[in-house]
A and B are shown apart, each in its own frame.
Chain A
Amino acid sequence: MIGRFGRRRRDPARGRRRTELVQLSTGRQARVALIGNPNTGKTSLFNALTGLRQKVANVPGVTVDLGRGRFPTPRRWIDLVDLPGLYALAPHSPDEEIALDFLTGAGGEPPPDAVIAVVDATQLERSLYLVTQLQELGLPLLVALNLFDAAGAEGKVIDAERLSRQLGAAVVVTSALTGFGLDLLPHELDRVLDDVVPEQPGDRPGPIPPLRQAARRWATAHPAAFRDAGPFRELLVERSLIDVGGALERRLVDALGVPTRGDLAEVRHDLLRSLAPRKSLTELEAEARYARVREALAGVVERDEATAYSPAARRRLRADHLLSHPVLGSLLFFLTMAVVFQSVFSWATPLMDAIDAATGWCADLVRANLPEGVLASLLADGVIAGVGAVVIFLPQILILFTFLLLLEDSGYMARAAFLVDRLMRLCGLSGQSFLPMLSSFACAIPGIMATRVIPNRRDRLATIMAAPFMTCSARLPVYAFLIAAFVPRRSWGPVNLQGLVLFALYLLGILGGIATALLLKRSLLRGPTPTFLLELPPYRRPDLRSLALRVMQRGRLFLTRAGTVIFAVTVVVWALAYFPRDAASKLAVEASAAPVPGVSAEAEPPSSRDAEAAQLAGSYLGQMGRAVEPLFEPLGWDWRVSSAVIASFPAREVLLAALGTIYALGSEVDEQDAGLIDRVRTARWPDGRLIFTLPVALGLMVFFAFCLQCGATMATMRRETGSWRWPILAWLYMTGLGYLGAWLVVRIGSTVG
């Protein structure tokens, strides 16, 4: 005891440690990044560690949707960031660039205080490759041997302590699925963070020593290269030399001029001439690192043959054969997709009805308890009805995302991409565009964000431009309403006309997307056929907890959107339709003199509703609608339809709310509302002709199928492509196509009928 006291007094470092400890317990923090190969369980680990303490990053303009959350260790709070997966510090896609930039502090944030390298325990050789690269970054590093349970199930017995010694890095064994090792990880992370001798980037020798020297010389000769990268400069130069034609080389050329390319090539050539004339630097690096990994793995893994050929392992193999079978696999694939869409539409109905009833109830409550006037109208007709009309899609979105994430986590999505690659190539894309396209059926925004996994820029742009054509869940209610109102309820056996029209509209969207991608790949985005290198992960049981968290996150994002953008739009639409107020009295006089145009003659005697309609005709929205009426006249739309369509440009789901307001029912409507359906059906031109003939209604649907009426999608496109050029092009192109399509339908319809 005495000895220990004495030592502590003698050792000033210890004293400092102690005060530090006090600081720690009073809220010290550290930023830590999770990184590893795709499918090693980073996201699952992230969710298991942070649980509900996650931030939903949805700030436009910043690098978003990196999962961010926090969790406590005994000594500090950890701000954890979940980075996109990558195989090597040689980025092949924008996603991988984001990960590398984050580590080296080039992404607008300082480099992390430590890194957790998530390693697949069933794939040690391949996933430790990245770890050897990470070790050279000089950041405190903790290796998490994840999927430990899966390795055990495969009959692998891993000596983690030995691995830690031979690798020269702290290792902790985890399973995000069972929770094994998650209690130990925070302690180990503290140990790594408190390590007294921090390393500098480049302290460890590189894979090819002469290359490191060449990189150093080059960095000294070119002080402008990676100027802001601080201690990582030499390392980044080294990586640019290795990765021929890669993202870092591109950045150097952008910063230092075109001759840099030849300059780098010369350095490479000289190096290789003395090292290995027939090889490449990437090859030398990979060989050196894999040799190093094998050394580190010597005696680490023992195979327990009995488990290796267990019934479970054989079952997985059989499932794999079945699901990837050329014929059966394709059949199963179509069956899966059919089930997904069927359930999205049928399972969501009861929930949607419930939400609808709830919004109606809220609006009634407001009307009953507030005096009639601006406030009551704003709340009931504007806020509650408008936002309610959007929140109603929440069940569909949740169901669709559950399916998509389930398919992705189980490993099926990669097989699906494998199956459809050839098909996608016919439209100039690759199997990797499949997931973004499929996600776009829920919403184009996650679809466009999912394109980050596509390495090829032209491919990625073509996919981004095609994605908004997919029938998203916001188009669905518009279709459902118009079909219920105007398509006859006829059926032949199990096939009914209304369903057929809906199906045709989905098909139309898909064809529009394919044609667009094809067109772009033949013109603006022409280039060589892209590659399709994709790991096909083994089938795994999805982690339901992680899945639930991510589905909830999607739901939250969606509601945030409903609460902000759509809320703002509905309030603006409401205000435009409500003011100026004195117009009501002016027009009410006219209304009593002559029947208000658009309201059918046999409707009930002039009521407060009709007065409201008259007020609307004189409102700002009415005036705007009239101003643009000539433009939409060829499509057969009157000012009401035109202004409703214009109001739905920021978000297409606003159409129903706007039509509702405009057709003088208040905006509290949904597709089941017979009142609105009847009003729209019987709406007439001043000369008594019906406005909505079948061709006009079909034309309106086609317009919605093509048109880019979604401000949030445009903002996402701008963020993902880096300029307004693409979203503006998309808007012009899609609106033009929508107009043209609607016009054609009306023309053909009136000639035929």
Chain B
Amino acid sequence: MSDPTTTARLRSTAADRPGPGGASPSTLAELEVGAKARVIDFRDRDDRSVQRLMHLGLLVGIEIEMVRRAPAGDPLEIRLLGFALSLRRREARLVLVETSSG
């Protein structure tokens, strides 16, 4: 259970598209194929999928690479800690990332 006010704030600001100026965080779902990003936050920490992602090592500070999208654009394949994981866009939207510049 995360602090309710924090969760609410994240829900309202983090839209699906990157915000103006790149200051607001984008979600994992929008990451381009081949791009790398770092996890900075989660939208709903009590979501079952988010909990599972955490057990799999997807935590704040971890680097993720978008490997590919399935034919219809969903699900996605990502790489983290040296293994490949598939998840749907719905779940990817719960992970907030910032693209690494280097």
Contact = CB atoms under 8 A, between A and B. Distances in A.
Interface of A: 87-88, 90, 92, 122-123, 125-126, 129, 243-246, 265, 268-269, 272, 277-283, 286-287, 290, 324, 326-327, 329-330, 414, 417-419, 421-423, 431, 455, 529, 531-538
B72 A422 contact: yes
Given A287-B59, A532-B86, A431 B1 contact: no
A308 to B, nearest CB: 11
A90 B51 contact: yes
Interface string B1-45: 111001000000000000000000000000000000000001001
Contact of A421 (B2, B46, B70): B70
Nearest to B87: A533
Contacts of A535: 56, 83-86
A324 B75 CA distance: 12
Q: Is the interface of A mostly helix, strand, loop or mixed?
A: helix
Contact of B82 (A125, A245, A277): A125
Contacts of B81: 123, 125-126
Contacts of A246: 48, 51
B57 A125 contact: yes
Contacts of A92: 48, 52
Nearest to B72: A422
Nearest to B53: A533
Size class of the contact patch on chain B: 35 or more
A418 B59 contact: no
B75 A431 contact: yes
Contact of B1 (A90, A122, A268, A534): A268
B54 A421 contact: no
Given A92-B52, A533-B52, A129 B57 contact: yes
B102 interface: no
Nearest to B71: A326
B67 to A, nearest CB: 8
A422 B49 contact: no
B88 A532 contact: yes
B70 A265 contact: no
Contact of A282 (B51, B57, B82): B51
A418 B70 CA distance: 7
Nearest to A327: B71
Contacts of A533: 49, 52-53, 56, 85-87, 91
A531 B49 contact: yes
Given A246-B48, A421-B74, 15 more contacts: A126-B83, A272-B3, A277-B6, A279-B2, A326-B71, A418-B70, A419-B71, A421-B75, A422-B71, A529-B90, A531-B52, A533-B53, A534-B86, A534-B87, A535-B83
Interface string B65-102: 00011111011010001111111101100000000000
Contacts of B71: 326-327, 329-330, 419, 422
A532 B75 contact: yes
Contacts of A123: 81-83
A279 B54 CA distance: 12
11 contacts: A88-B55, A92-B48, A126-B57, A244-B46, A244-B51, A265-B1, A269-B1, A278-B2, A418-B86, A535-B85, A536-B86
